[in-house]
Amino acid sequence: MLDLSKLVIETPSWGYADSGTRFAVFAQPGRPRDVFERIDDAAEVHRLTGTAGAVALHFPWDAVDDYGALREHIEARGLKVGAVNPNLFQDYDYKLGSVTHPDARVREKAVAHLVECLGIAADLGSTAQSLWLADGTNYPGQDDLRARRQRLHESLSQVYAQLPGDQELLVEYKLFEPAFYATDLADWGSALLTCQKLGDRARVLIDLGHHAQGVNIEQIVALLDAEGRLGGFHFNNRKYADDDLIVGSVNPFELFLIFFELAEGGLPRLTIDQSHNVEAKVEAMVLSIVNLQEAYAKALLVDRDALRAVQEAGDVLGGHEVLLDAYRTDVREVCARARVALGAEENPVAAHRESGYKARMAAERS
Ligand code: RM4
Ligand code: MN
Ligand code: MN
């Protein structure tokens, strides 16, 4: 029988909040008004799916006066705090960068926020800082590329020196956007080099939407894992760029191949990083979790001994067939039963629709 208990997905507090594109933000009725209500939505997703037991937070978006009270609220709803995500991209001072900014005063401010987040994580019982930088340049010649890298390492070393022993630093990269010429941490290689400079507790975080088209992301998983530097994974899906769509909605086969590699190495920290603009947010999150459960179930079905045997025999398509056998298996029933074993719903999306949660929140949170 399939056991889903080892699969823990962190859902993002920011995935429940208002979001949009640069063209418009369409506020949804019943949307949470503060971090406490975002946690309530996360708890509803966990109740339905059994797999979303932690929630990743973003600061200052989720800042409160009393972190003890926030922690109590989270734990009272049966959740844990996932990674703490410092936000270094919205303050006006960060227009030309945060930890890479040419002005030392701005770099100090960015470092101070990162250090503040170490304390917030400690108060909340979180064991990871998850860092994504919007830093980069838009035009050739705008800034000195080597100097920016130097500033990045100097700033992050100061933070790493203060990293509490039970926390790790996850370093996320992204090819482009908001910078359109040179992003300071653009790919897994630059993130890995940065982590190696910092120390053992700095590891790379892969976001599914942060690569050029066609990049083999499962291979990056295998490579970083083999180096002991795979820290985490952000799930979403895309057709073109960093589209942040529902996991598994556009390219389910790629998701399966990624899970095959993730499951090979022992799962790292797994987080959904999505932004729902036109779809219902809680339902979108539930569907993402269901798709993750199914991809994970299929990855566990791969006959790894048979795979090794045909690989050693040099059978080119034999190995491919072993993967396809697992991928083509209908796992909906076994996942439904595994969810029930966790005390969750057989069909989470239908249960959510029938529960009236959406209408109730629309009335309560008006
Ligand atoms: C970025 C990146 C980060 C997330 C922000 C909101 O594109 O994926 O992980 O924290 O968006
Ligand atoms: Mn991300
Ligand atoms: Mn992103």
Q: Please give the pLDDT value at position 241.
A: 95
| Atom 7 of ligand 1, residue of closest alpha carbon | 242
- Whether the pLDDT of residue 350 is over 90: the answer is yes
Element (H, E) at 76: helix 67-76
- Whether the pLDDT of residue 18 is over 90: the answer is no
Asked if residues 70 and 84 have their Cβ atoms less than 8 Å apart, the reply is no
Asked if residues 5 and 42 have their Cβ atoms less than 8 Å apart, the reply is no
Could you tell me the pLDDT band of residue 19, with boundaries at 50, 70 and 90?
confident
Q: Please give the pLDDT value at position 366.
A: 85
Percentage of the chain lying above the pLDDT 70 cut: 100
Q: Which residue has the tokens 């929140």?
A: 361
- Whether the pLDDT of residue 182 is over 90: the answer is yes
- Cα–ligand 2 centroid distance for 207 (angstroms): 5
Element (H, E) at 294: helix 281-301
Could you tell me the pLDDT band of residue 175, with boundaries at 50, 70 and 90?
very high
- Cα–ligand 2 centroid distance for 359 (angstroms): 30
Could you tell me the pLDDT band of residue 248, with boundaries at 50, 70 and 90?
very high
- Mean pLDDT within 223-249: 97
Ligand 1 binding site (Cβ under 6 Å of any ligand atom): 14, 85, 132, 172, 174, 207, 234, 242, 273
Residue type, 127: T
- Mean pLDDT within 338-362: 98
- Whether the pLDDT of residue 227 is over 90: the answer is yes
Could you tell me the pLDDT band of residue 177, with boundaries at 50, 70 and 90?
very high
Could you tell me the pLDDT band of residue 265, with boundaries at 50, 70 and 90?
confident
Could you tell me the pLDDT band of residue 325, with boundaries at 50, 70 and 90?
very high
- Ligand 1 pocket: which of 129, 132, 270 to mutate (most atoms within 8 A of CB): 132
- Cα–ligand 2 centroid distance for 205 (angstroms): 8
Q: Please give the pLDDT value at position 161.
A: 98
Residues 6+ apart with CB under 8 A from 67: 120, 123, 124
For residue 317, CA distances in Å to 157, 288, 321 come to 47, 31, 6
Q: Please give the pLDDT value at position 329.
A: 98
- Whether the pLDDT of residue 16 is over 90: the answer is yes
Distance CA 94, CA 341 (A): 48
Q: Please give the pLDDT value at position 163.
A: 98
Q: Please give the pLDDT value at position 220.
A: 98
Distance CA 123, CA 271 (A): 21
For residue 20, CA distances in Å to 31, 46, 248 come to 13, 24, 21
- Ligand 1 pocket: which of 273, 276, 277 to mutate (most atoms within 8 A of CB): 273
Mean pLDDT in the chain?
97
Summarised one tens digit per residue, pLDDT across range 116-134 is 999 999 999 999 999 999 9
Could you tell me the pLDDT band of residue 289, with boundaries at 50, 70 and 90?
very high
- Mean pLDDT within 280-306: 98
- Mean pLDDT within 170-198: 98
- Whether the pLDDT of residue 345 is over 90: the answer is yes
Distance CA 146, CA 347 (A): 52
- Mean pLDDT within 214-221: 98
- Cα–ligand 1 centroid distance for 273 (angstroms): 7
Q: Which atom of ligand 1 is nearest to the CA of 210?
A: 8
Summarised one tens digit per residue, pLDDT across range 127-168 is 999 999 999 999 999 999 999 999 999 999 999 999 999 999
